[in-house]
């Protein structure tokens, strides 16, 4: 019997956070063991209960509400095969590019060193095109992160351009076929 892939989804405070529920569902349908870590900003857009119900696993929202003595971010990293941050905001991209670990997701990402990490950005096209964001993404690529580029289209604020979260099926396909 083959071991189920253990995939961690990092959900950040982009309006595209609701699409992470579809990513979670698609991974479960592909027989993955899915865990979700949400940032404080993501909690303003979608609830942990959604991910708990779909993943059938406890959702991590803080480093400080652990139930055992074991550091949750370390034990989960030992079991995880991959981390996908979808949607990835400019904020989390900047934090990761500079090694900032000030919440559950950014801390967990640092523990995944040497494992597969996918970044699926979602943001306003002007933010996406900002040289600082692009530099931060290039830094992550140099560290081995895999970037799933955003799509072109109308984003939540009504602007048109590149910045929409990639199609959830495409994201899942890249995770499972890499």
Among 3.40.630.40, 3.40.50.1950, 1.10.510.10, 1.20.120.80, what is the CATH number of 6-176? Answer: 3.40.50.1950
Show the DSSP H helices in the chain as ranges: 17-29, 48-55, 72-79, 90-97, 104-111, 125-129, 131-142, 168-176
What is the three-class DSSP state of 79? Answer: helix
Place of tokens 């997701």: 105
Provide the residue ranges of all domains of the chain, joining segments of one domain with +.
Answer: 6-176
User: Which pair of structure tokens corresponds to residue 172?
Assistant: 């899942």
- Local confidence pLDDT in tens for the 178 residues of the chain: 567 899 999 999 999 999 999 999 999 999 999 999 999 999 999 999 999 999 999 999 987 666 654 556 577 888 999 999 999 999 999 999 999 999 999 999 999 989 999 999 999 999 999 999 999 999 999 999 999 999 999 888 888 999 999 999 999 999 999 7
Dihedral of alpha carbons 174, 160, 98, 18, sign = negative
The residue from 6, 24, 32, 157 that is catalytic is 157
Q: For the whole model, what pTM was predicted? A: 0.93
**pLDDT at position 92:** 98
Distances, alpha carbon 66 to alpha carbons 58, 62, 71, 163, in Å: 11, 8, 8, 35
Q: What is the pLDDT of residues 3-34, one digit of tens each?
A: 789 999 999 999 999 999 999 999 999 999 99
Element (H, E) at 166: none
Q: Is 157 one of the catalytic residues? A: yes
């Amino acid at each position: 019997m083959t071991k189920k892939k253990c995939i961690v989804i990092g959900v950040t405070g982009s309006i595209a956070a609701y699409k992470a529920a579809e990513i979670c569902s698609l991974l479960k349908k592909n027989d993955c063991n899915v865990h979700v870590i949400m940032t404080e900003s993501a909690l303003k857009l979608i609830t942990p209960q959604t991910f708990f119900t779909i993943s059938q696993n406890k959702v991590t929202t803080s480093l400080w509400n652990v139930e055992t003595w074991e550091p949750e971010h370390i034990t989960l990293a030992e079991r995880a095969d991959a981390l996908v941050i979808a949607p990835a905001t400019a904020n989390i991209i900047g934090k990761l590019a500079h090694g900032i670990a000030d919440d559950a997701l950014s801390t967990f990402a640092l523990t995944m060193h040497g494992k597969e990490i996918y970044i699926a950005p979602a943001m306003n096209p002007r933010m996406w095109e900002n040289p600082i964001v692009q530099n931060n993404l290039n830094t992550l690529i140099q560290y081995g992160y895999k970037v799933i580029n955003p799509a072109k289209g109308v984003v939540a604020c009504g602007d048109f351009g590149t910045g929409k979260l990639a199609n959830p099926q495409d994201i899942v396909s890249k995770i499972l076929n890499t």
